[in-house]
Amino acid sequence: MQWFNAVAEKLLERVGAQVIETGTSISGVPHIGNASDVIRGDAIRKALDEENAEVDFIWIADDSDPFRRVPGKIHSTTKYLDEVSQNPFRNTPDVNDLGDYLGYPVKDIPDPLGCHQGFVQHYVEPFLSNLDEFGVRPKAYSATELYKKNAFEKEIKEVFNKSDEVTRILNRFRKKPLPEDSIYWSPICESCGKIATTRPTELNGLRVSYVCEDTTLSGRKVKGCGFEGESDIRKGEGKLPWRIEWAVRWKHFKVTCEPLGKEHASAGGSYWTSKIISAEILGWEPPLPVIYEFFTLNGEKISSSKGNVITLRDWLRICEPEVLKYFMYKRLKKQRDIKLSSLPNLVDEYDKAERIFFGLEEGAEKEKQLYAMSQIKKPRLLQVPFTLCAVLSQVLGELDSDEAVNRIKRAGYSGFDVKRLMRRLHVAGEWAESCGPDNLRFNLVGDEQAEKNKKKLSPDERKVLLEIAHELDDNPSAETLHKRIYEISREHQIKPSEVFRDIYQVLIGKNRGPKAAFFLLSLDVDFVKKRFR
């Protein structure tokens, strides 16, 4: 049984409608690590759908949180970068000026690139749009709007009425205990607009008195303005602390399942605190946690603050969305690295599962199920290697579908879906250009440079190239041509590695390149013959 089927089965033991909640902090760029609970949550939704269960799938933007640190990189999310210079918004800060907004709710930070009305919109709109391209479409909510609509009033009253008990629960997980008279509300300062600098001083019903004073965020001092005021909870003039807010959401939305990263589920993590608050304070059975390991990117932790991120939009530019979904579904509790220069390895895993699904290769039922769950639309066979597509996209330049199909068939592939082929050609070409290894990035050299390179070859080496050109007259498969290159090399007592080097030097001016047989067959036959003769 797959993990998502096992989760669905467990949830069905809980009588009533199922609600899967996911959420994302918008204090930095939402990356594929942030998207993992949403994409995995959608797998659970699908599994419940297959059981004809009543299920809701929601996503909440944590856009009321204080802005704690400046991201290491601001991604442009506009389709056309010239929109930035034509945007109607004025006085948008430079990326480096975002430090001036530390302590403010992220909802109130301007868009540093000027292409949206604010920092939150800059990321939320494309994040949801990109999720849609992955076939993932949760009901989206804004935490800010929920507070402004006073959606949580009933639950907040329960928390305030039992604040002593809440304090005791929180202190179970703290080295430094909270004061017994703690007030669980973070007001937004009416004067300066900051949320991280306010300290509650008195609770009067659903109004909280506060003072705005200096604090420290991520090692940086954030000044308070000294204002003393009152925050009205019913008007959304603040927010709950996270561990309490999470439990409040569960009760309000009747959440039964929550995918979450292992950092929330570690000893003393926020899930365990919120779980107790949900059960003992709010009287709601906590949701079933679906705990997953995080990814690394190029061997390092994915981090917005350090700028080591890849967004869904970045992924869609260099690879198919189904491949990432398959990657996320395959090993829930094992840390895996996404090494962008080795992206074809992930695609090869996906392609193997595709062969199993279509009955072209024997394999575990698990792979077949994972492939099916990863699909956005009806499965369509491709089975054309990603690296070959990366090579062909550079050879063809403008991707003419008829010519692309002819070249792929000449390389020995058939029975593929043309639309999928064209999509893979496009993304593989973008991958090769932006993060592919050097041997897969190339430009064909001109005739003049090719002649200079040929003059460096010995007479026997030139004969070898001439014989390879003759082999192309017989329209060989890639496998046959590869074998003949070795045979011809040995007939002339030249090491095959030296012949491969000669092929690359004459064609692309390098000592290394794509797999030679596939490469030669991806090129125009007459061009190769002329060049080798």
pLDDT score of 221 = 92
Between CA 154 and CA 248 the distance in angstroms is 9
Q: What is the pLDDT of residues 396-446, one digit of tens each?
A: 877 678 889 988 988 889 999 999 999 999 999 999 988 888 888 888 889
Higher-confidence residue of 189 and 74: namely 189
Distance CA 417, CA 383 (A): 9
Q: Tell which wins on pLDDT, 85 or 38.
A: 38
Residue 337: half-sphere exposure toward Cβ, Cα within 13 Å: 10
- Which tens digits make up the pLDDT trace of 329-364? 998 888 888 999 999 999 999 999 999 999 999 988
Q: Residue 47, Cα to own-chain centre: how many angstroms?
A: 22
Q: Which of 20-29, 93-102, 145-154, 506-515 has the lowest mean pLDDT?
A: 93-102
Q: Where are the domains of the chain?
A: 3-152+243-297, 185-239, 442-532
Domain 442-532 grouped into CATH 3.90.1170.40: no
Q: Is the model's pTM score more than 0.75?
A: yes
pLDDT tier for residue 97 given thresholds of 50, 70 and 90? low
Average pLDDT over residues 98-126: 85
User: How far apart (Å, rounded) are the C-alpha atoms in residues 375 and 418?
Assistant: 17
pLDDT digits (tens, 9 = 90+) for 124-150: 998 999 999 999 999 999 999 999 999
* pLDDT-derived band at 81, boundaries 50, 70, 90: very low
Phi, psi of 198 (to 5 degrees): -90, 140
Q: Are strands 186-187 and 238-239 parallel, antiparallel or unpaired?
A: antiparallel
Backbone φ and ψ of 486, nearest 5°: -65, -45
Confidence label for 98 from pLDDT (cuts 50, 70 and 90): confident
- 265 and 289 Cβ atoms separated by less than 8 Å: yes
**pLDDT value of residue 69:** 81
Residue ranges of E strands in 227-373: 228-232, 238-239, 257-261, 288-292, 295-297, 300-301, 336-338
What is the average per-residue pLDDT within 365-382? 95
Residue 205 — φ and ψ, nearest 5°? 70, -115
The residue count of the chain comes to 533
C-alpha 428/C-alpha 24 separation (Å) is 29
Q: Please, which residues bridge with residue 66 across strands?
A: 105
SS3 288: strand
The percentage of residues in the chain with a pLDDT greater than 90, rounded to a whole number, is 64
More confident residue, 305 or 279: 279
Quickly count: other Cβ atoms within 10 Å of residue 228's Cβ.
14
Write 176-180 long-range contacts (CB < 8 A, 24+).
none
The two three-digit tokens of residue 116, written as one number: 């949206």
Residue 85 has pLDDT above 70, yes or no: no
- Rounded distance, CA 269 to CA 281, Å? 18
Higher-confidence position of 303 and 229: 229
Taking the CA of residue 507 as centre, how many other CA atoms within 13 Å lie in the half-sphere pointing to its CB?
30
Residue 370: per-residue pLDDT: 96
CATH topology of domain 3-152+243-297: Rossmann fold (3.40.50)
pLDDT in tens, 255-297: 999 999 888 877 778 999 999 999 999 999 999 999 998 888 8
Mean pLDDT of all residues in 165-194: 95
Q: How far apart are CA 120 and CA 110, in angstroms?
A: 8
Question: What DSSP state is assigned to residue 334?
Answer: S
3-state secondary structure of 391: helix
Residue 84: pLDDT over 50: no
- Which pLDDT band, with edges at 50, 70 and 90, does 91 fall under? very low
CA distances (Å), origin 432, targets 33, 187, 346, 386, 418 = 23, 49, 15, 10, 21
- By the 8 A CB rule, do 189 and 212 touch? yes
Q: Residue 55 carries which side chain, given as an amino acid letter?
A: V
Asked whether the predicted pLDDT for residue 42 surpasses 80, the reply is yes
**pLDDT of 88 above 50:** no
Q: Averaged over 100-107, what is the pLDDT?
A: 92
Beta-carbon contacts of 423 under 8 Å, excluding residues fewer than 6 positions away, are 320
Share the mean pLDDT of the chain.
89
Would you place residue 72 in the very low, low, confident or very high pLDDT band (cuts 50, 70, 90)? low
Q: Is the pLDDT of residue 325 over 80?
A: yes
92 DSSP 8-state letter:
P
The span from the CA of 134 to the CA of 309, in Å, is 18
Token pair, residue 251, equals 């009760």
Q: Which two tokens stand for residue 466?
A: 């001439």
Nearest by Cα to 375 from 413, 336, 417: 417
Q: Taking residues 31-52, what's their average pLDDT?
A: 94
What is the reported pLDDT for 100? 84
Q: Where are the alpha helices (DSSP H) in 308-446?
A: 312-318, 321-330, 343-357, 365-374, 386-396, 401-410, 418-435
Q: What is the pLDDT of residues 196-254, one digit of tens each?
A: 999 999 999 999 999 999 999 888 899 999 999 999 999 999 999 999 999 999 999 99
Contact between 72 and 306 under an 8 Å Cβ cutoff? The reply is: yes
Higher pLDDT, 100 or 288: 288
Q: Is the pLDDT of residue 464 over 80?
A: yes
Q: What is the mean pLDDT of residues 381-394?
A: 93
Contact indicator for 64, 231 with CB cutoff of 8 Å: no
More confident residue, 75 or 314: 314
Burial class (CB in 10 A: 0-12, 13-18, 19+), 416: middle
Helix (H, G, I), strand (E, B) or coil at 139: strand
- In terms of C-beta density within 10 A (0-12 exposed, 13-18 middle, 19 or more buried), how is residue 382 classed? buried
